[in-house]
Amino acid sequence: MNDEIKHFPENVQKLLADARIPIKQLKPIYYELTIGEQFPDDSIRLIEVNNSLIEELEKSKKLVIRGANDDFAALCTSDQIFEIKSAETSNTLLLASPLDSSSVNKENGCIALTVNSILHAKLELTQCVPRLKRISQLFEENPYRGHFDDDNDIENPKPKITMENIKSEVQASDQAIDAYLKKLNVVTIDGYLRLLDFDFRTKLIEYIFSLLSIQDWSKDHIPIDRCATEMKEICPKYVAKQFLEQIGTISNDGNSISLNANTISTHYALDLLRNLEKMKLSEFMTCWRECVPSDFPIDLDQLKGFVIISEGTISYIDTDNLSEKPYERMKTLFSRKNTWTLSEIEPFLSSLTTSNAEFNSLLAMHTRCIIKDGQKYYVPKYN
């Protein structure tokens, strides 16, 4: 008999012969399986990941899964987020481990294994968009309004939010969370994260402009420490410093800031529009120019993603209040405006997709393209 066949017990040899499996194609090794004492161990799951995720996991040494109780499970890395779904496998999977270091019998090629678990499914990852809307929802209940803030109301305590709270509940990468908090102009107060009230931000900006006049400071060189000290009448110095850093560019030495003209101009534009249903565009441009210092440029491109311009009017739209469901968001947008150019609609849809291909697919699914006066427009596919 072939030496390779002798490595297998007689019952294994007969089984191979009945199955007509060529012995020569097999390695002279076979496995002896023993059911483990804790079988089946239901705590074990298999998850399929790509090479980049393996590198990320090896680097961070941790697997971060985020979401509230009513959310789907989301695996979050430093810069990506994946929805975790269970998928049935075509074959049953046995998870086994060696009995001990001497489990390999070199004489007959037998490897003894203990079967710990049996699986009929694995976890698969699908890249998805970060769900950041919950962050603004967490903050809107308790915006900060300065020294007269009512956060210390014992009878009606307000929720206190930490970075740990956000990262445990919000399905987003660390990078996306940090960028969103910066966009919202969140500050740290007594160890907790707080959103500055919009009207209070307006008050702070106006106070800074008054200081520029009184102190004869240049808008391109505002001393951070001195300015924050002067602002202590309306908020603590450490809050004022955080606000100054939000609305300006810090100098190389870290001692001064240069006001960001775009940030200031955009704020005043939204201040004009946010409490109005709509406004005549010509009237808005006049008022906007009067609100903003003359050497600060104003341009409608600064307001992309904040406003809708239609039939000679302009209106504010809060993207954070739009539905995260593509169909519902499209429905809302087309109820506000019948036709859109690509550059107009893109800022309102980009947060729903993870790639250009997904974005184009979203447009193709919900809109159709028309040409009017040589310009391409998008209209709803279904009315």
pTM here? Answer: 0.78
Q: Are strands 248-250 and 256-259 parallel, antiparallel or unpaired?
A: antiparallel
pLDDT the model gives residue 73: 87
pLDDT reading at 369 higher than 60:
yes
Query: Mean per-residue pLDDT for 28-55?
Result: 80
CA pair distance 70, 132, nearest whole angstrom: 15
Q: What is the number of other CB atoms lying within 10 angstroms of the CB of residue 117? A: 18
Query: Mean per-residue pLDDT for 277-293?
Result: 95
* Helix (DSSP H) and strand (DSSP E) numbers for the chain: 14, 16
pLDDT the model gives residue 92: 83
CA pair distance 157, 136, nearest whole angstrom: 19
> Residues 318, 322, 324, 325: what is their CA dihedral angle, to the nearest 10 degrees?
-150
pLDDT reading at 35 higher than 90:
no
Q: 367 falls in which pLDDT band (50, 70, 90)?
A: very high
Where residue 67 falls (left for φ over 0; alpha for ψ -120 to 50; beta otherwise) is left
Closest CA to 200 of 165, 236, 225, 224: 236
pLDDT the model gives residue 333: 96
How does pLDDT run across 222-273, given as a tens digit for each residue? 999 999 999 998 999 999 999 999 999 999 999 999 999 999 999 999 999 9
Query: Using an 8 Å Cβ cutoff, are 336 and 308 in contact?
Result: yes
pLDDT reading at 107 higher than 70:
no
How does pLDDT run across 192-221, given as a tens digit for each residue? 999 999 999 999 999 999 999 999 999 999
pLDDT the model gives residue 1: 44
pLDDT the model gives residue 151: 54
CA 23 to chain centre: 54
How does pLDDT run across 326-352, given as a tens digit for each residue? 999 999 999 999 999 999 999 999 999
CATH class of residue range 295-380: mainly alpha
How does pLDDT run across 141-168, given as a tens digit for each residue? 889 988 776 555 556 667 789 999 898 8
Greater confidence (203 vs 137) lies with 203
pLDDT the model gives residue 14: 80
Query: Using an 8 Å Cβ cutoff, are 273 and 265 in contact?
Result: no
Q: Where are the domains of the chain?
A: 10-127, 133-261, 295-380
pLDDT the model gives residue 200: 95
Query: Using an 8 Å Cβ cutoff, are 98 and 112 in contact?
Result: yes
pLDDT reading at 2 higher than 50:
no
Query: Mean per-residue pLDDT for 119-126?
Result: 88
Q: Which of 4-8, 108-112, 171-175 has the highest mean pLDDT?
A: 171-175
CA 176 to chain centre: 4
Greater confidence (4 vs 314) lies with 314
Instruction: Render 355-372 in DSSP notation, one character per residue.
Output: SHHHHHHHHHHHEEEEEE
Instruction: Render 195-233 in DSSP notation, one character per residue.
Output: EBPHHHHHHHHHHHHHHHHHHT-BTTBEEHHHHHHHGGG
Q: What are phi and psi of 186, to 5 degrees?
A: -80, 140
pLDDT the model gives residue 155: 61
Query: Mean per-residue pLDDT for 100-125?
Result: 73
Query: Mean per-residue pLDDT for 116-120?
Result: 84
Terminal Cα-to-Cα distance of the chain (whole angstroms): 78
CA pair distance 335, 219, nearest whole angstrom: 42
Q: For a pLDDT cut of 70, what percent of the chain falls above it?
A: 90
